[in-house]
Homo-oligomer: A and B are copies of this chain.
Amino acid sequence: MKTLSDCVTAHIPAMQRRRRDLHHFAESGWVEFRTATLVAEELHRLGYQLALGRAVIDADARMGLPSEAVLAQQEQRALAQGALPQWLPSFSGGFCGIVATLDTGRPGPVMAFRVDMDALDQNESSAADHLPTREGFASCNAGMMHACAHDGHTTIGLTLASVLKEWAHQLSGTIKLIFQPAEEGVRGAKAMVAAGVVDDVDLFTAIHLGTGVPAGEIVCGSDSFLATTKLDVTFTGVGAHAGGNPEQGRNALLAAAQATLALHTLPQHSGGVARVNVGVLQAGTGRNVVPDCALMKVETRGVNNQVNDDIYQQAQRVIAGAAAMYGVDHAITLMGGARSCTPSPAWVAFIHQQAEALGLFRSVVDTKAQAAGSEDATYMMERVQQRGGQASYVIFGCDLAAGHHNARFDFDETVMATAVQTLATLALNQAQFGGAR
């Protein structure tokens, strides 16, 4: 009889082709038009029930959306690169999310797997020794690169869909596969949560490849994420000739400079790690003009939601006060956000046990060290847990050519089969889980 392992192994060549195609046509957050149409087509072909676009993404809860002009232009770009026209209308305008459901007809919990699809806003290395370049699948889109393995995640999600379909007769309950846009900048998950896509989920698992975890190791319940808020701040003052009538100006740059310093005085907190960064400041129009505009790109972080919320609340106060100091207007736009997370112990333990039983890993651990980055699957985990479900975040270690967000990033593709087999195993053995609910 064909084992699960045999089944997954058979997919390996297709997985590589899929991943390399997605890598070549890397698409940044909210403009994953080509990717989304290919994902939809494949899931439809497999017979999943699909919810698309506005049905799974709350328009108003989206953060950090590009301008309409960029969205329209990118949609054209995607079409030219092979986006499937029949699916495109569902995603038009920045709604590139898909939720595929498989109702087994047998009683059981709703089990969800979440992958993300977007690339980073950066150029890929053209060095000859960079494998994607050498093999001809480096990104063809300037300023967009899969340097965080989301091409792998999407491929794993699609392959998992295929494998589970093949083994559907042995599944019970409901399977939900969530394909999320705009994880980079932690912009997309909140809008899917707001659309209710995880409200019925009992067992939730998000995944990531790499992140410093060594090849052969699986982290069953990573809690190493900082809560974070991303905000753009604009100050709008009044320009004036700096030599002739300086008192007629209202100086947006001075407000921004005060705010920048003050924001960086905030993160001392007994609750643990607290962070503020004003990463970008752009202000003024000319050397001899009192600056009438300033833009700050800011983020706050905290070891947990409370710390981050404290810092963010103070940040808002600082920004408003700085504007008041110089009589300038200000606006704060949320550009992204993520929560800290505490994976559900019972579900982590189950994953741990299943991973050990699989025999695919040299090392099975529950958590990894020190928090630093952020991840918006945490919004989904939080919602699932608030509604009584179990949630975890699983990392599959693998060899990397260079670190995440590096222009020479690349990962060892063999990890994808390992991931598919592990996740399929969780679904197939779910009935053994005796966890809460």
Contact = CB atoms under 8 A, between A and B. Distances in A.
B282 A286 contact: no
A355 to B, nearest CB: 26
B284 A288 contact: no
Contact of A258 (B248, B258, B277, B373): B258
Contact of A242 (B244, B257, B277, B286): B277
The A interface is mostly helix, strand or loop, or mixed, namely mixed
A91 B344 CA distance: 62
Contacts of A370: 270
Number of copies: 4
A17 interface: no
A374 interface: yes
Which of A245, A279, A290, A324 has the largest count of B CB atoms less than 10 A from its CB? A279
Given A261-B261, A277-B288, A287-B279, A372 B244 contact: yes
A268 B246 contact: yes
Contacts of A326: 262, 317-318, 321
Contacts of A276: 268
Interface in A291-306: 291, 294, 297-299, 301
A364 interface: no
A61 interface: no
A286 B298 CA distance: 9
Nearest to A230: B287
Given A243-B372, A262-B326, A282 B282 contact: yes
A270 B246 contact: yes
A374 B242 CA distance: 11
B275 A284 contact: no
A306 to B, nearest CB: 10
B373 A243 contact: yes
Contact of A277 (B185, B228, B264, B290): B290
17 contacts: A242-B268, A243-B373, A246-B270, A247-B271, A253-B278, A253-B281, A257-B258, A257-B261, A258-B325, A264-B264, A270-B372, A277-B290, A278-B291, A279-B286, A280-B285, A281-B284, A288-B299
